[in-house]
Amino acid sequence: MAEADIDDLIEIIEKESNIQDIPTTIPMMPVRDVVVFTDMLLPLFVGREKSIKAVEESFEYDRYIFLTAQKDSEIEKPTIDDVYTVGTVGRVQKMIKLPDGRIKALLRQKHWNISKKDLFSKFGLNFWKTPTPKRLPSKMKP
Protein backbone atom coordinates (compact mmCIF):
# COMPACT_ATOMS: atom_id res chain seq x y z
CA MET A 1 0.00 0.00 0.00
CA ALA A 2 1.37 3.42 -0.92
CA GLU A 3 2.26 5.81 1.91
CA ALA A 4 -0.40 8.30 0.76
CA ASP A 5 -3.04 5.54 0.98
CA ILE A 6 -1.96 4.67 4.52
CA ASP A 7 -2.12 8.34 5.54
CA ASP A 8 -5.63 8.62 4.05
CA LEU A 9 -6.75 5.48 5.90
CA ILE A 10 -5.35 6.77 9.21
CA GLU A 11 -7.14 10.10 8.67
CA ILE A 12 -10.47 8.33 8.00
CA ILE A 13 -10.09 6.17 11.13
CA GLU A 14 -9.20 9.21 13.25
CA LYS A 15 -12.24 11.10 11.95
CA GLU A 16 -14.55 8.15 12.70
CA SER A 17 -13.01 7.69 16.16
CA ASN A 18 -13.70 11.19 17.41
CA ILE A 19 -15.54 10.82 20.72
CA GLN A 20 -16.82 14.40 20.50
CA ASP A 21 -18.91 13.42 17.46
CA ILE A 22 -20.91 10.84 19.42
CA PRO A 23 -24.26 12.16 20.65
CA THR A 24 -24.46 12.50 24.42
CA THR A 25 -27.67 10.45 24.41
CA ILE A 26 -28.02 7.15 22.52
CA PRO A 27 -30.06 3.92 22.76
CA MET A 28 -28.68 0.87 24.59
CA MET A 29 -29.02 -2.82 23.72
CA PRO A 30 -27.92 -5.83 25.80
CA VAL A 31 -26.39 -8.71 23.86
CA ARG A 32 -26.35 -12.41 24.75
CA ASP A 33 -23.62 -15.02 24.36
CA VAL A 34 -21.08 -12.60 22.93
CA VAL A 35 -18.38 -10.36 24.30
CA VAL A 36 -18.04 -7.17 22.29
CA PHE A 37 -14.73 -5.35 21.99
CA THR A 38 -13.79 -2.10 20.31
CA ASP A 39 -12.91 -2.22 16.61
CA MET A 40 -15.14 -5.26 16.06
CA LEU A 41 -17.35 -5.63 13.03
CA LEU A 42 -20.29 -7.49 14.53
CA PRO A 43 -23.17 -9.14 12.63
CA LEU A 44 -26.20 -9.57 14.91
CA PHE A 45 -29.65 -11.09 14.55
CA VAL A 46 -31.90 -8.97 16.74
CA GLY A 47 -35.21 -10.48 17.82
CA ARG A 48 -36.34 -9.03 21.13
CA GLU A 49 -38.87 -6.23 20.75
CA LYS A 50 -36.95 -3.73 22.89
CA SER A 51 -33.67 -4.58 21.14
CA ILE A 52 -35.27 -4.04 17.73
CA LYS A 53 -36.55 -0.69 18.98
CA ALA A 54 -33.02 0.24 20.18
CA VAL A 55 -31.51 -0.55 16.75
CA GLU A 56 -34.23 1.42 14.96
CA GLU A 57 -33.85 4.38 17.34
CA SER A 58 -30.09 4.44 16.71
CA PHE A 59 -30.87 5.99 13.31
CA GLU A 60 -32.18 9.06 15.13
CA TYR A 61 -28.73 9.37 16.76
CA ASP A 62 -26.52 9.11 13.66
CA ARG A 63 -26.72 5.28 13.98
CA TYR A 64 -24.86 5.20 17.32
CA ILE A 65 -25.80 2.48 19.82
CA PHE A 66 -24.40 1.29 23.15
CA LEU A 67 -23.96 -2.50 23.48
CA THR A 68 -23.45 -4.22 26.80
CA ALA A 69 -23.33 -7.92 27.69
CA GLN A 70 -26.04 -9.70 29.63
CA LYS A 71 -24.82 -11.53 32.73
CA ASP A 72 -27.24 -14.44 32.17
CA SER A 73 -28.19 -15.22 28.58
CA GLU A 74 -31.28 -17.17 29.67
CA ILE A 75 -33.08 -14.02 30.86
CA GLU A 76 -35.51 -12.88 28.16
CA LYS A 77 -36.38 -9.47 29.65
CA PRO A 78 -33.23 -8.23 31.40
CA THR A 79 -33.29 -5.45 33.98
CA ILE A 80 -30.47 -3.04 34.78
CA ASP A 81 -29.09 -5.57 37.28
CA ASP A 82 -28.91 -8.26 34.57
CA VAL A 83 -26.41 -6.41 32.36
CA TYR A 84 -22.88 -5.17 32.85
CA THR A 85 -22.38 -1.42 33.14
CA VAL A 86 -19.38 -1.47 30.80
CA GLY A 87 -19.81 -1.83 27.08
CA THR A 88 -18.96 -0.36 23.70
CA VAL A 89 -20.38 2.41 21.57
CA GLY A 90 -20.65 1.60 17.90
CA ARG A 91 -22.55 2.42 14.75
CA VAL A 92 -25.08 0.45 12.79
CA GLN A 93 -23.46 0.00 9.37
CA LYS A 94 -26.34 -1.92 7.74
CA MET A 95 -29.78 -3.05 8.82
CA ILE A 96 -32.14 -5.47 7.09
CA LYS A 97 -35.66 -6.21 8.34
CA LEU A 98 -36.36 -9.93 7.93
CA PRO A 99 -39.81 -11.37 7.05
CA ASP A 100 -40.14 -12.98 10.51
CA GLY A 101 -39.87 -9.57 12.23
CA ARG A 102 -36.25 -9.85 13.32
CA ILE A 103 -33.50 -7.51 12.21
CA LYS A 104 -30.12 -8.44 10.80
CA ALA A 105 -27.71 -5.66 11.72
CA LEU A 106 -24.04 -5.10 11.06
CA LEU A 107 -22.44 -3.01 13.80
CA ARG A 108 -18.97 -1.53 14.04
CA GLN A 109 -17.92 -0.99 17.65
CA LYS A 110 -15.55 1.88 18.35
CA HIS A 111 -15.36 3.12 21.93
CA TRP A 112 -15.41 1.81 25.49
CA ASN A 113 -18.02 3.41 27.66
CA ILE A 114 -19.63 3.15 31.06
CA SER A 115 -23.28 3.82 31.94
CA LYS A 116 -25.53 3.34 34.94
CA LYS A 117 -28.78 4.66 33.47
CA ASP A 118 -32.12 2.98 32.76
CA LEU A 119 -32.12 -0.03 30.48
CA PHE A 120 -33.30 0.40 26.87
CA SER A 121 -33.81 4.12 27.31
CA LYS A 122 -31.79 6.93 25.91
CA PHE A 123 -29.08 7.88 28.37
CA GLY A 124 -26.02 10.02 28.95
CA LEU A 125 -22.56 8.66 28.25
CA ASN A 126 -19.53 8.77 30.49
CA PHE A 127 -16.37 7.90 28.60
CA TRP A 128 -13.35 6.51 30.37
CA LYS A 129 -10.27 8.58 29.90
CA THR A 130 -7.09 6.81 28.93
CA PRO A 131 -4.73 7.20 31.88
CA THR A 132 -1.40 8.87 31.32
CA PRO A 133 1.39 6.38 32.00
CA LYS A 134 3.72 7.34 34.82
CA ARG A 135 7.44 6.88 34.57
CA LEU A 136 8.97 4.66 37.23
CA PRO A 137 12.14 5.92 38.92
CA SER A 138 15.25 4.46 37.35
CA LYS A 139 16.60 3.41 40.76
CA MET A 140 14.22 1.98 43.27
CA LYS A 141 15.16 2.70 46.89
CA PRO A 142 14.71 -0.11 49.47
* pLDDT tens, position by position, 10-29: 454 455 555 557 777 788 89
When pLDDT is cut at 50, 70 and 90, the band that residue 98 belongs to is very high
Q: Is residue 74 part of a domain?
A: yes
- Average pLDDT of the residues in 109-120: 61
- For the chain, how many structural domains are there in total? 1
93 in Cβ contact with 118 (< 8 Å) = no
Q: Is residue 142 part of a domain?
A: no
pLDDT tens-digit series, residues 41-83: 899 999 999 999 999 999 998 999 989 899 999 999 888 788 8
Q: Is residue 136 part of a domain?
A: no
φ/ψ (deg, to 5) at 42: -120, 110
- Average pLDDT of the residues in 124-139: 54
Task: Determine the structural domain holding residue 51 and report its residue range.
Answer: 23-117
- Please state, in angstroms and rounded to a whole number, the distance separating the CA atoms of residues 109 and 92: 9
